[in-house]
Amino acid sequence: MRSTRPVMSERREAQRPRIGVIGAGVAGLSAARRLADAGLEVTVFEKSRGLGGRMACRRRDGLQFDHGAQFVDADAPALQDLLAAARSQGLAADWTEAAREAQRYVVGVPGMNAMCRPLADGLDIRFDTEIRTLRRAGSGWAIGSAGGDVHVDRVILTIPAPQLPRLEMELDPETRDALYGVRFAPALALMVAFEERPDWPAIQRTPPAPFALILRDSSKPGRPGDAECWVAHADEAWSRRNVELDRPEIGAALLSELEAAMAPLPPSRAVMGHRWRYSQATQPLGRAFIASGCGTLLFGGDWALGDRVEHAAESGRAMAAAILAETE
């Protein structure tokens, strides 16, 4: 297949920086996609086995749950290119059962993380790669993992600020203070498969306490048709009180809360819990990204602007634009 990569002289090619992107969520992939399309050498590092970050999908024994981001706003300006690409490949569709008069929802098909595939197509993504160190190497950086070091000229980091200390890197005081000023709230999630459908609407945006959201995942297009899979997110107060529970304990505790709030429940065939320790930025950075004093480390994510998928896309594209502006 003939490459669509821009033609450039060997000298110009040699001047193009190598970019490392840490995190294969929407922010990291949005940045990587734009940089790769411009002809830069980009490597994405992802500690998990798949794409999407909090656009996550749990599969077990034929059951499926979107246990992170549940949908996106069909009219969000920052997502229109991605939604068009995903729709054209059959990777996104309207969630008609949950649509409201003034708002339309779009979901990934067959799971929320499928929506990220157009961004990832053709990228060098290294899954199951946890970054352990990030240290200066000449004018660039050495990204260290169990597989060794990868040397790059610039690094984009999309992980939440509280996770940065494990990278054992030094930050200038201004950047450090700005990043550590971002505040997060946890969210604990229940995934439950019922033997039969409860008489509830497909989505409850204002459910009884201690829940922030209850929805019928099985009502989304492209989901398995023989299961009643539901997801319930606890509210901030309950999540903070119970954030140190392990996953089975989260599932059991939230099922008990659901029983108390929505009884009677149908018999359940599977129950799981999940902890999103840094789920939502209650105090965002307030700008699309921040660059370190040396200008070669860029930090961003949905937490830079808010807590939605479109905020992640905006942040990622802004970081890519900043790098491209320096390399023109």
Structural domains of the chain, with CATH: 16-49+127-182+284-327 (3.50.50.60), 57-74+183-282 (3.90.660.10)
Residue 93 neighbours by CB under 8 Å, 6+ apart: 87, 106, 107, 109, 221, 222
The CA distance from 46 to 159, in Å, is 10
Per-residue pLDDT of the chain (328 residues; tens, 9 = 90+): 333 444 443 444 556 899 999 999 999 999 999 999 999 999 999 999 999 999 999 999 999 999 999 999 999 999 999 999 999 999 999 999 987 756 899 999 999 999 999 999 999 999 999 999 999 999 999 999 999 999 999 999 999 988 988 887 888 999 999 999 999 999 999 999 999 999 999 999 899 999 999 999 999 999 988 889 999 999 999 999 999 999 999 999 999 999 999 999 999 999 999 999 999 999 999 999 999 978 899 999 999 999 999 999 999 999 999 999 998 7
Can you tell me the distance from the alpha carbon of 132 to that of 167, in angstroms, rounded to the nearest whole number? Answer: 5
DSSP string computed for 77-97: GGGHHHHHHHHHTT-EEE-GG
Angle made by CA atoms 114, 120, 124, in degrees to the nearest 5: 140
* Residue where the block lists tokens 């033997």: 195
Query: What are the two backbone dihedrals, phi and then psi, of residue 117, each rounded to the nearest 5 degrees?
Result: -60, -40
**pTM of the model as a whole:** 0.92
Rounded to 10 degrees, the C-alpha dihedral 280/251/270/70 comes to -10
If we measure between CA atoms, which residue out of 309, 308, 105 comes closest to residue 219?
105
Kindly tell me the burial class for residue 168, based on how many C-beta atoms sit within 10 Å of its own C-beta (0-12, 13-18, 19 or more): exposed
